[in-house]
Amino acid sequence: MRKLFVSVCTMLLFISSSTAMAEDNYAYFGFEPDITTNYINHKKKLGYIRITAELMIKNVANLEAVEHHAPLLRDAIITVLGKEPEEKIRSLTGREEVRLKCVREIKRLLKKETGSEIIQDLLFTKYLYN
């Protein structure tokens, strides 16, 4: 009896994990080439920031729409980065704030263009500044 119970529990666990995997059908889209833009530092000189960004897309079926709108999304990231002060660009907490601003702007634009928020998140996989 105990063996049957363990087998049934194992089968239920397998079924529930398979269902969860089917719902989490994420895809990733990377911007090529890296995104590079300027920001103004304290000395009124231009600094630059170079990032590699990956979009986490909620469903693989939405990958084509993200590819189609990639120039618009790239421009949005460049615009957000270019408006940020040096303190935010150079600090860890500021970097997270900038990332979240980029996520909000990309979601807003995709909602406007496609009717839904296609992306789950934005990841900075490289973040260099000078």
Q: Please give the domain boundaries of the chain with CATH numbers for all domains.
A: 25-129 (3.30.479.30)
Q: Is the peptide bond before 33 cis (omega within 30 degrees of 0)?
A: yes
Contacting residues for 11 by C-beta, under 8 A, at least 6 apart: none
Q: How confident is the prediction for the chain on average, in pLDDT? A: 85
- 115 half-sphere exposure, CB direction, 13 A CA radius: 0
Task: Specify which residues 55 forms β-bridges with.
Answer: 29, 122
pTM, two decimal places: 0.79
**61-120 pLDDT per residue, tens:** 999 999 999 999 999 999 999 999 999 999 999 999 999 999 999 999 999 999 998 999
Nearest to 3 by CA among 13, 15, 14, 11: 11
